[in-house]
A and B are shown apart, each in its own frame.
Chain A
Amino acid sequence: MTSATMTSPVRPVDAQSPGAAFPAIPFSRLLRVEWGKATDTRAARWLLALVAASTVGLMLAPLLAPSRIDQTYTSYLRFAAVGLSILLPIVSILTLTSEWSQRTVLTTFTQEPRRIRVINAKVTVSLLLAGGAAVFGGLVTAAGLGVAAATGRELDANLNTGVLVGYLLFVLLSVATGVAFGALLHNSAAAIVLYFALPIAFALLGRASTSLGQWVDSGTTFDWVLNGEWSGHTPQILATVILWVALPVAAGLVRTVRREINDIAQLQRGEGHGRRITKIRRPCPWRMTRVSWRNYGSLSRTPPRPTAAGRSEPPSSAGRSSHHGNLNPHVL
């Protein structure tokens, strides 16, 4: 292999300003690329398969327990909604966080330095996936109803536009909450754990104090959306949408635009400072540089003590070759 096979010509030295030659990346292209990234890995495909399986699985409930569950079009549809809302948000969390975990932001943000456009594309892809999933849920519901009808059950065909809008909004809001967690936290594990843990905490709060809970507990308010119970609840629903979707997305956009992309340990921790959130793959001690030795201490549970850690560095490793080098001292 020689470089002579490289056919791409470098443009003449005196070419005009590069800006004129190449137009900006159109948003449609960003969307196409981000759609591909969100769906082309093995993990993403497994998750999407699980989303489908859990939706189908939950549809078995009204089919198998007809005595305990209302045999109406609406109740079947709500089972599809709940089935989708369990795992689909994880797909959107990963869409937003995996580039930080895999550190491919390094490449992506040099391909499109206007980071906000990349995030917008990821959010749009997540919502498109949610829309597609909602359609899938509708088909599963139709299939479930078909099976129920075939077994000779009486079904109340009580579907109307309000129910369908509520269903679609519920799925979109579930996914948007996942998007918000991913956009803000930049760390898959933290975002997924908090996505499940925080609503439980707020639900407990809601149980302790209903008057306060209904303003912060998205579990309650999103159920209102699903059930079309807007009257008397609209301010509470809007408040939880602001709290769980709008605010974290806005903060996440600010954080994404400002964040410096410079450092292995920083990215793995999802944060430049503070405690470790996820399990960290430590570099082999014998391959570490002077600087990463210092970081070695800060990766442990004990808070880093720069002076003590500084003394522990092996002097012989100063010039050693390692791509773990150049960690900035900021993370100490």
Chain B
Amino acid sequence: MITTTALTKSYGKTPVVRDVSLHCEPGTITGFLGPNGAGKSTTLRMIVGLAHPDHGTSTIDGRPFVELPNPTRVVGTLLDPSAMHAGRTGRATLKIAAQMAGMSTDRVDHLLNLVGLTDAADRRVGGYSLGMRQRLGIAQTLVGEPEVLILDEPANGLDPEGIAWMRGLLRDFADRGGTVLLSSHLLHEVQATVDHLVVISRGAVVASGPLSELLASSSLLVRTPDPEGLARALRSAGIGYRPGPDNTFTVDVHDGRITPEMIARAAVDQQVPLTELRQSDSGGLEQLFFSLTAATADHSQEAAA
């Protein structure tokens, strides 16, 4: 379980993280989503004690990270896959992590196999691709058999197959009672992986909640061969709409006050055929993401400078 309360941090006069409160429950994967420079990494680094918050607290299972006697037995962290000694082999890197955690180094071979690096185990990390470093980093987080994982942009550098693999691994970890907090700016990756979502923009949380709830608040897409008829039908039913391309209409659900059924009934009343009626899920999260962050993106330039 990861809990932060009102984490706040500034560098000079520039606020980087403002009042960020997170709560990650065991058995769930929480996505920490935001554009580059939104404060995701700084927040994660404050949780693991690498950066010091101006105020606010963070705890892992009720204790501050820096008070954990042997943190890698509780929390696996992967903050930057490029932060590995280029001169060591993958195997040596994991051996050090295992030794430090007090685990048997016999575990190293198993972990190398788990992340698909058995063949590259005795090559120096300096020759690894970013994707291979991510895999090695994941292996390193699992060394101490932790119950919490904190991952900063874990999908970076992974190919689609690697991303699918990581998704399965994290899902399995959470299903067995683990807690996962991962940051990302890859919207589709987050959408397919996480249960909970925290969207951050310019250092502040702008939305959080279960993924399904956040997505449900988007809009409906209606398609008809008779656009004039449908426009008439929606108007007469008092439903607001925006015409889209290819005879489609987008209808805002207004927090569930407009339902697909209402649209279907309106169409039936006016005898307008519908060929499609669904949640406009394609890019639903994307829309949410951009609507939440776009307004602030223009200012981030000045704010950061």
* A interface residues, Cβ below 8 angstroms from B: 1-13, 15, 17-19, 21-25, 29-30, 32-33, 36-37, 40-43, 98-99, 102-114, 258, 260-262, 264, 289-291, 294, 306-307, 309-310, 313, 318-323, 325-330, 332
Q: Tell me if B206 is interfacial: C-beta within 8 Å of chain A.
A: no
* Interface contact B82-A328, CB-CB below 8 Å: no
* Interface contact B83-A106, CB-CB below 8 Å: yes
* Interface contact B63-A18, CB-CB below 8 Å: yes
Residues from chain A with a CB closer than 8 A to the CB of B14 are 329-330
* Interface contact A36-B67, CB-CB below 8 Å: no
Interface string of B52-84 (1 = CB under 8 A from A): 100000001111011111111111010111111
The answer to whether A104 and B36 touch (CB under 8 A), given A10-B177, A25-B100, A113-B49, is no
Q: Tell me if B249 is interfacial: C-beta within 8 Å of chain A.
A: no
Residue of B nearest to A44 (CB): B87
17 contacting pairs across A/B (C-beta < 8 A):
A6-B114, A6-B142, A6-B172, A18-B63, A22-B73, A30-B100, A104-B84, A106-B83, A262-B41, A262-B42, A307-B305, A310-B301, A313-B301, A322-B36, A323-B80, A323-B81, A326-B41
Residue of A nearest to B11 (CB): A330
Residue of A nearest to B297 (CB): A318
Residues from chain B with a CB closer than 8 A to the CB of A291 are 36-37, 304
* Interface contact B305-A310, CB-CB below 8 Å: yes
Q: A6-B172, A262-B50 known; 10 other A-B pairs, CB under 8 Å?
A: A6-B142, A10-B177, A11-B177, A13-B177, A33-B100, A99-B85, A104-B83, A111-B71, A260-B45, A306-B305
Q: Which of B163-171, B222-230, B260-268, B273-281 lies on the face that meets chain A?
A: B163-171
Interface residues on B, range: 35 or more
Give the interface centre of A262, A290, A313, A320 by most chain B CB atoms within 10 Å.
Answer: A262
Please tell me which one of the listed residues A15, A41, A329, A330 contacts residue B87 in the complex, with CB atoms under 8 A apart.
Answer: A41
Please tell me which one of the listed residues A3, A113, A260 contacts residue B165 in the complex, with CB atoms under 8 A apart.
Answer: A3
Q: How far is the CA of A32 from the CA of B100 in the complex (A)?
A: 9
Residue of A nearest to B51 (CB): A260
Question: Would you give the shortest CB distance from B177 to chain A, in whole angstroms?
Answer: 5
Q: How far is the CA of A92 from the CA of B162 in the complex (A)?
A: 40
* Interface contact A107-B51, CB-CB below 8 Å: no
Question: Would you give the shortest CB distance from A161 to chain B, in whole angstroms?
Answer: 39
